[in-house]
Protein backbone atom coordinates (compact mmCIF):
# COMPACT_ATOMS: atom_id res chain seq x y z
CA UNK A 1 0.00 0.00 0.00
CA UNK A 2 1.10 3.53 -0.79
CA UNK A 3 0.46 5.81 2.17
CA UNK A 4 0.81 9.58 1.95
CA UNK A 5 0.55 11.30 5.32
CA UNK A 6 0.38 15.09 5.67
CA UNK A 7 2.94 15.98 3.03
CA UNK A 8 3.69 19.61 2.35
CA UNK A 9 6.00 21.28 -0.14
CA UNK A 10 6.84 24.94 -0.64
CA UNK A 11 8.69 26.54 -3.53
CA UNK A 12 9.79 29.97 -2.28
CA UNK A 13 6.45 31.64 -1.46
CA UNK A 14 4.31 29.10 -3.33
CA UNK A 15 2.66 26.43 -1.16
CA UNK A 16 2.57 23.64 -3.75
CA UNK A 17 1.29 20.98 -1.32
CA UNK A 18 -0.46 21.63 1.98
CA UNK A 19 -0.86 18.62 4.32
CA UNK A 20 -1.92 16.20 1.59
CA UNK A 21 -2.98 12.75 2.81
CA UNK A 22 -4.41 9.70 1.05
CA UNK A 23 -3.76 5.97 0.54
CA UNK A 24 -3.65 3.70 -2.50
CA UNK A 25 -4.31 0.05 -1.71
CA UNK A 26 -2.89 -2.90 -3.63
CA UNK A 27 -5.22 -3.79 -6.49
CA UNK A 28 -6.75 -0.31 -6.50
CA UNK A 29 -6.81 2.53 -9.04
CA UNK A 30 -6.82 6.10 -7.76
CA UNK A 31 -7.40 9.11 -9.98
CA UNK A 32 -5.60 12.29 -8.95
CA UNK A 33 -7.43 15.27 -10.42
CA UNK A 34 -7.18 19.04 -10.29
CA UNK A 35 -6.47 22.06 -12.44
CA UNK A 36 -3.01 22.79 -13.81
CA UNK A 37 -0.82 23.84 -10.90
CA UNK A 38 -2.99 22.10 -8.32
CA UNK A 39 -0.08 19.95 -7.10
CA UNK A 40 -0.52 16.66 -8.96
CA UNK A 41 2.98 16.42 -10.46
CA UNK A 42 4.52 17.71 -7.22
CA UNK A 43 2.76 14.85 -5.42
CA UNK A 44 4.23 12.35 -7.89
CA UNK A 45 7.71 13.86 -7.58
CA UNK A 46 7.42 13.65 -3.79
CA UNK A 47 6.50 9.96 -3.95
CA UNK A 48 9.52 9.33 -6.16
CA UNK A 49 11.89 11.30 -3.91
CA UNK A 50 12.67 13.74 -6.70
CA UNK A 51 12.38 16.59 -4.19
CA UNK A 52 12.41 17.19 -0.44
CA UNK A 53 9.11 17.56 1.37
CA UNK A 54 7.61 17.61 4.85
CA UNK A 55 5.49 14.68 5.99
CA UNK A 56 5.69 10.92 5.43
CA UNK A 57 5.36 8.72 2.36
CA UNK A 58 5.64 4.95 2.69
CA UNK A 59 5.34 2.01 0.33
CA UNK A 60 4.43 -1.21 2.15
CA UNK A 61 5.25 0.51 5.45
CA UNK A 62 8.77 1.48 4.37
CA UNK A 63 10.12 4.77 3.08
CA UNK A 64 10.76 4.86 -0.65
CA UNK A 65 14.32 3.65 -1.29
CA UNK A 66 16.50 2.18 -4.03
CA UNK A 67 14.91 -1.24 -3.60
CA UNK A 68 11.46 0.31 -3.87
CA UNK A 69 12.25 1.86 -7.24
CA UNK A 70 12.54 -1.61 -8.82
CA UNK A 71 8.86 -2.10 -7.93
CA UNK A 72 7.70 1.27 -9.30
CA UNK A 73 6.63 2.09 -12.84
CA UNK A 74 6.55 5.82 -13.57
CA UNK A 75 5.27 7.55 -16.69
CA UNK A 76 6.17 11.27 -16.69
CA UNK A 77 3.93 13.78 -18.40
CA UNK A 78 6.72 14.77 -20.79
CA UNK A 79 8.28 12.11 -23.04
CA UNK A 80 11.71 11.07 -21.87
CA UNK A 81 12.75 8.59 -24.56
CA UNK A 82 16.11 8.65 -26.31
CA UNK A 83 15.39 9.35 -29.99
CA UNK A 84 18.45 7.63 -31.45
CA UNK A 85 17.75 4.27 -29.81
CA UNK A 86 15.60 1.62 -31.40
CA UNK A 87 12.35 0.60 -29.70
CA UNK A 88 14.01 -2.61 -28.50
CA UNK A 89 17.11 -0.83 -27.19
CA UNK A 90 15.01 1.74 -25.34
CA UNK A 91 12.76 -0.82 -23.65
CA UNK A 92 15.69 -3.04 -22.61
CA UNK A 93 17.72 -0.08 -21.34
CA UNK A 94 14.97 1.15 -19.02
CA UNK A 95 14.07 -2.40 -17.92
CA UNK A 96 17.68 -3.01 -16.89
CA UNK A 97 17.45 0.04 -14.64
CA UNK A 98 14.64 -1.87 -12.90
CA UNK A 99 16.95 -4.88 -12.37
CA UNK A 100 15.54 -6.87 -15.30
CA UNK A 101 17.90 -8.62 -17.72
CA UNK A 102 17.83 -8.22 -21.50
CA UNK A 103 17.41 -12.00 -21.70
CA UNK A 104 14.23 -11.75 -19.65
CA UNK A 105 12.75 -8.70 -21.40
CA UNK A 106 13.65 -9.23 -25.07
CA UNK A 107 11.19 -12.15 -25.68
CA UNK A 108 8.31 -10.04 -24.31
CA UNK A 109 8.75 -7.03 -26.57
CA UNK A 110 6.84 -8.24 -29.62
CA UNK A 111 3.83 -9.15 -27.49
CA UNK A 112 3.81 -5.75 -25.81
CA UNK A 113 4.08 -3.94 -29.14
CA UNK A 114 1.12 -5.98 -30.37
CA UNK A 115 -0.85 -5.35 -27.17
CA UNK A 116 -0.50 -1.59 -27.61
CA UNK A 117 -0.86 -1.72 -31.41
CA UNK A 118 2.44 0.09 -31.94
CA UNK A 119 2.90 0.81 -35.64
CA UNK A 120 6.47 -0.06 -36.41
CA UNK A 121 9.12 -2.68 -35.83
CA UNK A 122 11.19 -3.10 -32.69
CA UNK A 123 14.26 -2.22 -34.75
CA UNK A 124 12.77 1.19 -35.70
CA UNK A 125 14.32 4.21 -34.02
CA UNK A 126 12.27 6.21 -31.54
CA UNK A 127 12.71 9.41 -33.56
CA UNK A 128 10.97 7.82 -36.55
CA UNK A 129 7.77 7.05 -34.62
CA UNK A 130 4.69 9.25 -34.43
CA UNK A 131 4.05 11.06 -31.14
CA UNK A 132 1.25 8.62 -30.33
CA UNK A 133 3.47 5.59 -30.89
CA UNK A 134 6.26 7.17 -28.85
CA UNK A 135 3.74 7.57 -26.03
CA UNK A 136 2.81 3.89 -26.30
CA UNK A 137 6.46 2.81 -26.24
CA UNK A 138 6.97 4.87 -23.10
CA UNK A 139 3.95 3.14 -21.56
CA UNK A 140 5.47 -0.24 -22.38
CA UNK A 141 8.69 0.87 -20.69
CA UNK A 142 6.62 1.78 -17.63
CA UNK A 143 4.78 -1.53 -17.40
CA UNK A 144 6.98 -4.28 -18.86
CA UNK A 145 8.83 -5.01 -15.60
CA UNK A 146 5.48 -5.72 -13.86
CA UNK A 147 5.67 -2.94 -11.25
CA UNK A 148 3.70 -3.19 -8.02
CA UNK A 149 3.23 0.57 -7.79
CA UNK A 150 2.33 2.40 -11.01
CA UNK A 151 2.39 6.20 -11.28
CA UNK A 152 1.05 7.70 -14.50
CA UNK A 153 1.18 11.46 -15.07
CA UNK A 154 -1.44 12.32 -17.73
CA UNK A 155 -1.11 8.93 -19.48
CA UNK A 156 -3.99 9.56 -21.90
CA UNK A 157 -2.46 12.75 -23.29
CA UNK A 158 -2.08 12.51 -27.07
CA UNK A 159 -3.94 9.22 -27.37
CA UNK A 160 -7.03 8.84 -29.53
CA UNK A 161 -10.10 6.99 -28.14
CA UNK A 162 -9.00 3.61 -29.54
CA UNK A 163 -5.52 3.84 -28.02
CA UNK A 164 -6.98 5.22 -24.79
CA UNK A 165 -9.04 2.04 -24.55
CA UNK A 166 -5.88 -0.05 -24.99
CA UNK A 167 -4.26 1.83 -22.13
CA UNK A 168 -7.34 1.46 -19.91
CA UNK A 169 -7.27 -2.29 -20.44
CA UNK A 170 -3.58 -2.42 -19.56
CA UNK A 171 -4.26 -0.43 -16.36
CA UNK A 172 -7.14 -2.72 -15.42
CA UNK A 173 -4.99 -5.81 -16.07
CA UNK A 174 -2.26 -4.40 -13.81
CA UNK A 175 -4.88 -3.79 -11.13
CA UNK A 176 -6.13 -7.38 -11.42
CA UNK A 177 -2.52 -8.50 -10.93
CA UNK A 178 -2.45 -6.62 -7.62
CA UNK A 179 -0.71 -3.36 -8.52
CA UNK A 180 -1.48 -0.12 -6.72
CA UNK A 181 -2.09 2.48 -9.44
CA UNK A 182 -2.33 6.25 -9.29
CA UNK A 183 -2.77 8.45 -12.34
CA UNK A 184 -3.60 12.07 -13.08
CA UNK A 185 -6.05 13.11 -15.77
CA UNK A 186 -8.10 16.08 -16.91
CA UNK A 187 -10.62 13.73 -18.52
CA UNK A 188 -13.26 12.95 -15.91
CA UNK A 189 -14.77 10.23 -18.11
CA UNK A 190 -11.54 8.22 -17.83
CA UNK A 191 -11.51 8.74 -14.07
CA UNK A 192 -15.15 7.76 -13.68
CA UNK A 193 -14.77 4.71 -15.91
CA UNK A 194 -11.81 2.94 -14.32
CA UNK A 195 -11.03 4.47 -10.92
CA UNK A 196 -11.96 2.96 -7.59
CA UNK A 197 -11.14 6.18 -5.75
CA UNK A 198 -10.33 9.77 -6.58
CA UNK A 199 -8.51 12.61 -4.87
CA UNK A 200 -8.90 16.19 -6.03
CA UNK A 201 -6.31 18.85 -5.27
CA UNK A 202 -6.92 22.58 -5.40
CA UNK A 203 -4.06 24.95 -4.62
CA UNK A 204 -2.15 22.09 -3.04
CA UNK A 205 -4.95 20.99 -0.71
CA UNK A 206 -7.15 17.90 -0.82
CA UNK A 207 -10.74 19.01 -1.49
CA UNK A 208 -12.23 15.64 -2.47
CA UNK A 209 -11.25 12.14 -1.33
CA UNK A 210 -13.32 8.99 -1.66
CA UNK A 211 -14.73 6.45 -4.05
CA UNK A 212 -16.20 7.86 -7.27
CA UNK A 213 -19.70 6.99 -6.10
CA UNK A 214 -19.14 8.48 -2.62
CA UNK A 215 -17.95 11.75 -4.13
CA UNK A 216 -20.88 11.98 -6.53
CA UNK A 217 -23.48 11.06 -3.92
CA UNK A 218 -22.09 13.66 -1.51
CA UNK A 219 -23.32 16.38 -3.87
CA UNK A 220 -26.90 15.09 -3.81
CA UNK A 221 -29.15 13.73 -6.55
CA UNK A 222 -30.01 17.09 -8.03
CA UNK A 223 -30.11 16.11 -11.70
CA UNK A 224 -33.19 14.51 -13.24
CA UNK A 225 -33.07 12.99 -16.73
CA UNK A 226 -36.50 12.84 -18.36
CA UNK A 227 -37.80 11.79 -21.75
CA UNK A 228 -41.05 13.57 -22.50
CA UNK A 229 -43.08 15.38 -25.16
CA UNK A 230 -43.33 18.47 -22.96
CA UNK A 231 -41.67 21.67 -24.12
CA UNK A 232 -38.59 22.96 -22.33
CA UNK A 233 -40.52 26.08 -21.30
CA UNK A 234 -43.06 23.87 -19.45
CA UNK A 235 -40.34 21.84 -17.78
CA UNK A 236 -38.49 24.93 -16.59
CA UNK A 237 -41.65 26.12 -14.80
CA UNK A 238 -42.14 22.91 -12.80
CA UNK A 239 -41.81 23.15 -8.98
CA UNK A 240 -38.24 23.00 -7.64
CA UNK A 241 -36.69 23.09 -11.13
CA UNK A 242 -34.04 25.81 -11.21
CA UNK A 243 -32.95 25.13 -14.80
CA UNK A 244 -33.73 22.84 -17.73
CA UNK A 245 -31.41 21.77 -20.54
CA UNK A 246 -32.41 19.97 -23.76
CA UNK A 247 -30.38 16.95 -24.83
CA UNK A 248 -31.67 15.03 -27.85
CA UNK A 249 -34.60 12.84 -28.88
CA UNK A 250 -37.06 14.51 -26.46
CA UNK A 251 -34.62 14.05 -23.58
CA UNK A 252 -33.85 16.76 -21.00
CA UNK A 253 -31.87 17.40 -17.81
CA UNK A 254 -33.76 19.17 -15.05
CA UNK A 255 -31.69 20.77 -12.29
CA UNK A 256 -33.35 20.65 -8.86
CA UNK A 257 -32.98 23.01 -5.93
CA UNK A 258 -32.53 20.06 -3.57
CA UNK A 259 -32.48 16.27 -3.71
CA UNK A 260 -35.65 15.77 -1.67
CA UNK A 261 -37.77 17.59 -4.25
CA UNK A 262 -37.41 14.69 -6.71
CA UNK A 263 -40.60 12.96 -5.56
CA UNK A 264 -42.60 16.19 -5.80
CA UNK A 265 -41.32 16.73 -9.32
CA UNK A 266 -42.13 13.13 -10.30
CA UNK A 267 -45.73 13.50 -9.12
CA UNK A 268 -46.11 16.85 -10.86
CA UNK A 269 -44.65 15.57 -14.11
CA UNK A 270 -46.49 12.25 -14.32
CA UNK A 271 -49.81 12.73 -12.48
CA UNK A 272 -49.78 8.97 -11.98
CA UNK A 273 -49.35 8.20 -15.68
CA UNK A 274 -46.58 6.39 -17.53
CA UNK A 275 -43.42 8.34 -18.36
CA UNK A 276 -40.71 6.98 -20.62
CA UNK A 277 -37.81 8.10 -18.43
CA UNK A 278 -37.38 9.70 -15.02
CA UNK A 279 -33.90 9.15 -13.59
CA UNK A 280 -32.64 11.15 -10.60
CA UNK A 281 -28.84 11.28 -10.48
CA UNK A 282 -26.02 13.10 -8.68
CA UNK A 283 -23.86 15.54 -10.68
CA UNK A 284 -21.29 14.11 -13.08
CA UNK A 285 -17.62 14.24 -12.18
CA UNK A 286 -17.19 16.92 -14.83
CA UNK A 287 -19.75 19.12 -13.06
CA UNK A 288 -18.23 18.43 -9.65
CA UNK A 289 -14.74 19.20 -10.97
CA UNK A 290 -15.86 22.56 -12.36
CA UNK A 291 -17.68 23.43 -9.15
CA UNK A 292 -14.78 22.56 -6.84
CA UNK A 293 -12.16 24.10 -9.13
CA UNK A 294 -14.10 27.37 -9.13
CA UNK A 295 -14.49 27.62 -5.36
CA UNK A 296 -12.37 30.06 -3.42
CA UNK A 297 -10.29 28.92 -0.48
CA UNK A 298 -11.59 30.06 2.86
Rounded CA gap, 230 and 252, in Å?
Answer: 10
173: Cα separation from own chain's centroid? 16
Per-residue confidence band for 157, with pLDDT thresholds at 50, 70 and 90 = confident
Q: Is the pLDDT of residue 272 over 60?
A: yes
Rounded CA gap, 76 and 44, in Å?
Answer: 9
- The domains found in the chain, sorted by start residue, are 2-217 (3.40.50.300), 220-281 (3.30.70)
Mean pLDDT of 18-38: 96
Rounded CA gap, 197 and 193, in Å?
Answer: 11
Task: Note whether 20 and 205 are within 8 A (CB).
Answer: yes
Rounded CA gap, 157 and 146, in Å?
Answer: 22
Rounded CA gap, 144 and 118, in Å?
Answer: 15
Mean pLDDT of 277-298: 85
Q: Which pLDDT tens digit goes with each residue over 179-208?
A: 999 999 988 988 999 999 999 999 999 999
Widest CA span of the chain, in angstroms?
Answer: 72
Amino acid sequence: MLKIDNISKKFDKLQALDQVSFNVEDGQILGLIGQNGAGKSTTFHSILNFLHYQGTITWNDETINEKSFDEIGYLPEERSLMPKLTIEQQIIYLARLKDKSAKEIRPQIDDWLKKFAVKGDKKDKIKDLSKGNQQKVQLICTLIHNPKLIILDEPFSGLDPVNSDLLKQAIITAKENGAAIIFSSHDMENVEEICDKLVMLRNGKVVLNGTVEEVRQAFGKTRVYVTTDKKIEELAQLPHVVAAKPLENRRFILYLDEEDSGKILFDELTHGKYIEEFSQQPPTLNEIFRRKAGEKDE
